[in-house]
Structure 1
Amino acid sequence: MFPSFPLVCAVLIAVACGWINSDRLRSAVTLLGQSPPNITLCPQVPPLFPTQHAELNAQLNKRYSSETFRLSSYQFLGDAIQIPTESYDDLLPVGQDERWIIFNVFHIFFEESFPRIYSSLTVTRVNTYGLVFHWQGSDDSVKPLLFAAHQDVVPVDWSTEDQWIHGPYSGLYDGKSCTWIFGRGSVDDKADLIAQLLAVNSLLEAGFKPRRTVVLAFGFDEEASGTEGAGKLAPYLEETYGRDGFAMLLDEGEGYGENLKEGVIVALLGVSEKGYFDASIEVFAPGGHSSIPPDHTSIGLLSLLIASLEANSHPPRLLRNGTAFAAAQCAVQHPTKPGKYPAGMKDLARRATVPGDDVALQKFAKALFEADPFFKVLSRTTQAVDLISGGVKINALPERAEAVINHRIAEHSTAQEVKKHIIDLVLPLAAEHNLSVQAFGDDIRNGSEAYRVVLSDAFYSPLEPSPVTPISNSPMYDVLSGTIIATLQSSKRYQADGVVVAPSLGLGKFTYGYTLYYWNLTRNIFRYSHRGDSDDRYNGLHTINEGVRAESFIEQIRFFTNLILNLDEVKSD
């Protein structure tokens, strides 16, 4: 259909008069009926199988499918689960707390279970319980591959023991009444860790000698602070291999979606994480008897500040160069549910990719946020007032009130911007009520000496958003994506119509392991665990009846094997 003649004339006159600038011209043309640009949303690479190592790969796949290998692998994981390597928030440094000793037992298990690895690889202990396995390659001109995992698990709440189908540290698999391997750590993160060791061990037994060096790094307090494990491993790795010394780092992360007939499996490959900041707002006011109150108590003033913050939340910004935008393109192109997005959404997504067409981008963002509010979360700094305290007695005026606000800092923002946002909202209310204000160590307003507002970091220093792993024209992203697709499509369990790999943005601190310590080691940091997020986990993480589907554990071994072989054939980094 052709646009009406009056509309064409109106647009041409507007351009001639300068009412529509060049940046908006493309949007105007779109209104006249131009087709959306011919752009591929969520481009995919083909499945990547080893070619030079094809015979070896076929040999190992045959071995992995044997009953003997499967049962022995389940036993390895079950034995690892039976060792309760719990880490606690109140652990003292290594050498000062006897609760670390359990990791000695775990290391003895490693040595007894994988003697070939200990005799063939260089094994280094870092801070006593951190482990680094170095498998030397023949070509030092290519950077090593780094796998990360953690040995520790969250503690079991023993008051829930009777709610477990099998004991929390049973590691049970009987192959009859269940198809699961149960126990704390079966999903987080001992399946990843043992799968890596079994892949390396299998390659060693097959006589494989890598061209590219392979390194495994296992921390031991990821479920606590990470400072004793990854926090000590990172300096060692940087000193040994250099800054940006690795081709790729793969740590635990999300997995893939449902494997359904007439459906598409969507694998989520973490390439970035939001920042993290807990802000404390304290209000100090004179005490006294509550029968003679001021206009506003400290709690009342704090409430006004909180109300202002919640009325002025951080606006979402969907940026073309952001991970949320790339993830949205994939979500629209490959929706997980029919009808999730309105008709024409793909055309909107294509138009939004055109540089300079901000009108199209805004339209796409608006439609996206309405269809799936989670993308609004990904595109903004979120804030949540999670803790509040104040007052000690009903007839005593509260002399202090405090709120703690949790922020997950958007990929495009900084901790300093978050602090400025808080200050800009606090100052007008402080002026209205004559409050003194100290903001993050600086006195920024002199008001009443009796009434003060103190802004500070609540617990830890802020964590900035992570570096973003490149996904466009990125050999490492392509190799990893192709390996994921190949491993899924070659699985005997595969019944879907296709596989899509989509970039994923983590929601901040504690989302994916402790890759934050490893930012200096490589620009290619990925967070991914090769298992079905719903199909292969019995009951989630950190809760009762944690369990991993036994077959998926074999698929993890296949995945790590394929990735080692595929990267070994990549000539450059």
Structure 2
Amino acid sequence: MALHPTKHRGLSEDLDVAYNSEDFKQIAIQALRDAVRVPTESYDDNGPVGEDSRWDTFAELHRVLEASFPRIYESLNITKVNTYGLVFSLAGINYGKTLSLGRSSSQTVKDWKYDPYSGYYDGTWIWGRGTCDDKSDLIRQLLAIDSLLKHDFSPARTLILAYGFDEESKGIEGAGHLARYLEETYGRDSFALLLDEGSDYTDMGGVVFATPSTSEKGYLDVKITLSTPGGHSSVPPSHTSIGLLSRFIAAVEDNPHEASLSRTGTPFATTQCLAAYNPVYPDDLRILARKAVTDDAALKVLQEQLLASHPQYKAILGTTQAVDLVEGGVKVNALPERASAVVNHRIAEHSSVGELQQHMVDLLTPLAAKYDLALVAFGSNVTCGGAGQVVLSDFLGMALEPSPVTPTGYGPWALLQGSIKAAFENSPSRNSSKVVVIPSLSIGTLVVWFVLHDSNDWYQPGNTDTRFYWNLTKHIFRFSPSFDTDNFNGFLIPAFRADSLNEGVRFYTKFILNVDEKSVAYGTHSLGALSDFGYHLVLAEAPRVT
């Protein structure tokens, strides 16, 4: 059911009226335009803060935020983390905390209709880098806090906002430092909820679905390096290092990872919700989904049918692999002494980095033995050989386990669901539609409900900055209160629908007020019993530039 504030009912209703005004819309538009005009770019090769001057542009964004939201800067305690990370805190009587994050995308300037940092408003769309991902969320969240402060809101639970600046370029300088600061300051497992940006609303056959991501796939780039003796190509061996590497690549591609639809996994939960509430869901799959709850044979058939229904289900239900980089050789008449390839993996929710590494070892050990190659896998000697060496390693050291799966059976999940529904029902433009809130899996490029819904595809880069915050809470959600149609042309030439600014502020306001209800019993746990509750937003950094 929709969860409307009770303790703060009057405040919530007053702000609903304020958010519908043209004056508020213009204030919101101007705030986003001002933020977009600051070229906050982060690069893949950025050095540490303090050594690389390219980070300094974020100082200008700090000044713009302070000018746009002086009330926030006057009322909240502010801590700068690693120079450009920001933590805002508003102390509550009962000391509670929350979190929420965000990130950005990359674009090609030559394809732009307007200058990428113009913040141009054409009467419908606000154009510029960061409008969709993720300065729109940043501004809407700050507008919600500013509006609450304007009405003398004093929380019972401590409110925390944390803003990073480099999610698109690894997140280490921003969220990495922020996570350590928050854990050192508030303690491990001290936050009841973390709300990150993520998937949004989409219309399926007249029913609107909100799909907060409750888990993300893991990540591992495996580098395969072949080393063999050199020499002149006029007297070649049977196989050069490049030829041997091709055999290892072929072995990898010939042995894809098996898909698995588990009753305990997020894809199964999403499938059940879609089967129950999506009016355009195929009837045969709907019937199978119902049977699969208890029937193992039906579960197996459902998995097969889903895999056959759309190629994306292979990515949703299993670990993916793609050979994306290859190099070798320096001269046409010289035997290559070294050749390498990098295999990109997105690890299934039910798997792990260790399981993937063992799969690679088991798969490639026979090949190494066949060609008399010593195999060194992830730092350990596996086989000996006299013809050369093959090394398996974690390329760039970016291995990441699949995220913990957020519980959806009580408290925080129910609060998020209820807040989404309450905001949607109170919308002057959207309250005629039904909204269904379901969990989803972020797989690195799209969320699970994309499948069987071919229009308005939603693409979501992975992983989000939440990977740094796993120690703070097990209740992590990734959701942005916008329709997929509020983003012009996806994220390639970004522009954001101005009317969606007000709607997002409405959601964040109701969410914060619901969080602050101390005695709301919702689900099987009392929300009032949550020891800490927090709210963390990432500073929407500009697009990655490679």
- Please show how residues 448-527 of structure 1 align to structure 2 within 5 Å: 448=386, 450-472=387-409, 474-494=410-430, 497-508=433-444, 511-527=462-478
Query: Which piece of structure 1 moves more, 547-556 or 396-405?
Result: 396-405
Q: Tell me by how many angstroms 1:326 deviates.
A: 0.8
Contact residue 69 and residue 146 of structure 2 kept, 8 A: yes
Amino acid at match of 1:281: I
Q: Tell me by how many angstroms 1:568 deviates.
A: 1.3
CA offset digits 1:5-27 (Å, max 9, x no partner): xxxxxxxxxxxxxxxxxxxxxxx
Runs ≥4 residues deviating over 4 A:
153-158
- Aligned equivalent of 2:538: none
Q: Does 1:346 align with 2:303?
A: no
- Aligned equivalent of 2:448: none
- Aligned equivalent of 1:122: 77
- Aligned equivalent of 1:34: none
- Please show how residues 16-55 of structure 1 align to structure 2 within 5 Å: 46-55=1-10
- Please show how residues 125-204 of structure 1 align to structure 2 within 5 Å: 125-140=80-95, 143-149=96-102, 157-158=108-109, 160=110, 163-175=111-123, 179-204=124-149
- What is the TM-score when the length of structure 1 is the normalising length? 0.85
- Aligned equivalent of 1:252: 197
Corresponding residue SS for 1:223: helix
Query: Which piece of structure 1 moves more, 279-288 or 183-192?
Result: 279-288
Corresponding residue SS for 1:235: helix
CA distance in 2 between partners of 1:532 and 1:196 (Å): 17
Gaps of 5+ in 1: 1-45
Q: Tell me by how many angstroms 1:156 deviates.
A: 6.2
CA distance in 1 between partners of 2:136 and 2:127 (Å): 11
Corresponding residue SS for 2:166: coil
Q: Tell me by how many angstroms 1:532 deviates.
A: 1.1
Query: Which piece of structure 1 moves more, 92-101 or 226-235?
Result: 92-101
CA distance in 2 between partners of 1:277 and 1:266 (Å): 31
CA offset digits 1:476-529 (Å, max 9, x no partner): 111101211222232222276421112111124951531111111111111111
Classify 1:423/1:155 alpha carbon distance in 2 versus 1 (closer, same or farther; 3 Å).
closer
- Aligned equivalent of 1:40: none
> Larger radius of gyration, structure 1 or 2?
1
Contact residue 88 and residue 155 of structure 1 kept, 8 A: no
Amino acid at match of 2:288: L
Corresponding residue SS for 1:254: strand
CA offset digits 1:107-155 (Å, max 9, x no partner): 1122222121111111111111111110111223xx31223345xx567
Classify 1:431/1:81 alpha carbon distance in 2 versus 1 (closer, same or farther; 3 Å).
same
CA distance in 2 between partners of 1:482 and 1:228 (Å): 35
Amino acid at match of 2:502: I
CA distance in 1 between partners of 2:151 and 2:475 (Å): 29
Contact residue 87 and residue 155 of structure 1 kept, 8 A: no
- Aligned equivalent of 1:431: 369
Q: Does 1:536 align with 2:473?
A: no
- Aligned equivalent of 1:96: 51
Corresponding residue SS for 1:405: strand
- Aligned equivalent of 2:158: 213
CA distance in 2 between partners of 1:325 and 1:76 (Å): 41
CA distance in 2 between partners of 1:496 and 1:270 (Å): 25
CA distance in 1 between partners of 2:364 and 2:106 (Å): 40
- Aligned equivalent of 1:269: 212
- Aligned equivalent of 1:229: 174
- Aligned equivalent of 1:13: none
CA distance in 1 between partners of 2:106 and 2:291 (Å): 50
Q: Tell me by how many angstroms 1:347 deviates.
A: 2.7
CA distance in 2 between partners of 1:372 and 1:149 (Å): 29
CA offset digits 1:295-348 (Å, max 9, x no partner): 222112111111111111110111111111111212333447x3x53x332232
Classify 1:495/1:63 alpha carbon distance in 2 versus 1 (closer, same or farther; 3 Å).
closer
Corresponding residue SS for 2:169: coil
CA distance in 1 between partners of 2:487 and 2:406 (Å): 27
Classify 1:496/1:169 alpha carbon distance in 2 versus 1 (closer, same or farther; 3 Å).
same
Amino acid at match of 2:199: E
CA distance in 1 between partners of 2:99 and 2:391 (Å): 44
CA offset digits 1:164-194 (Å, max 9, x no partner): 222111112242xxx0111111111111111
Contact residue 284 and residue 399 of structure 1 kept, 8 A: yes
Contact residue 126 and residue 132 of structure 1 kept, 8 A: yes
Amino acid at match of 1:425: L
- Aligned equivalent of 1:27: none
- Aligned equivalent of 2:359: 421
Q: Which has the higher contact order (CA 8 A, sep 6+)?
A: 2
- Aligned equivalent of 2:27: 72
Contact residue 219 and residue 398 of structure 2 kept, 8 A: no
Corresponding residue SS for 1:100: helix
Corresponding residue SS for 1:228: helix
Classify 1:84/1:112 alpha carbon distance in 2 versus 1 (closer, same or farther; 3 Å).
same
- Aligned equivalent of 2:537: none
Aligned length: 506
Q: Does 1:298 align with 2:241?
A: yes
CA distance in 1 between partners of 2:477 and 2:512 (Å): 15
Corresponding residue SS for 1:210: coil
CA distance in 2 between partners of 1:187 and 1:346 (Å): 34
- Aligned equivalent of 1:280: 223
- Aligned equivalent of 1:547: 495
- What is the TM-score when the length of structure 2 is the normalising length? 0.89
Amino acid at match of 1:310: E
CA distance in 2 between partners of 1:174 and 1:207 (Å): 35
CA distance in 2 between partners of 1:249 and 1:476 (Å): 9
CA offset digits 1:425-478 (Å, max 9, x no partner): 111112222222111112211111x32211111111411111110012x21111
Corresponding residue SS for 1:315: coil
Contact residue 149 and residue 217 of structure 1 kept, 8 A: no
CA distance in 2 between partners of 1:445 and 1:138 (Å): 62
Classify 1:93/1:271 alpha carbon distance in 2 versus 1 (closer, same or farther; 3 Å).
same
Contact residue 306 and residue 313 of structure 2 kept, 8 A: yes
Contact residue 97 and residue 157 of structure 2 kept, 8 A: yes
Contact residue 102 and residue 465 of structure 2 kept, 8 A: no
Query: Which piece of structure 1 moves more, 462-471 or 360-369?
Result: 360-369
Amino acid at match of 1:212: R
CA offset digits 1:245-266 (Å, max 9, x no partner): 11211111111113x7x61111
Contact residue 252 and residue 512 of structure 1 kept, 8 A: no
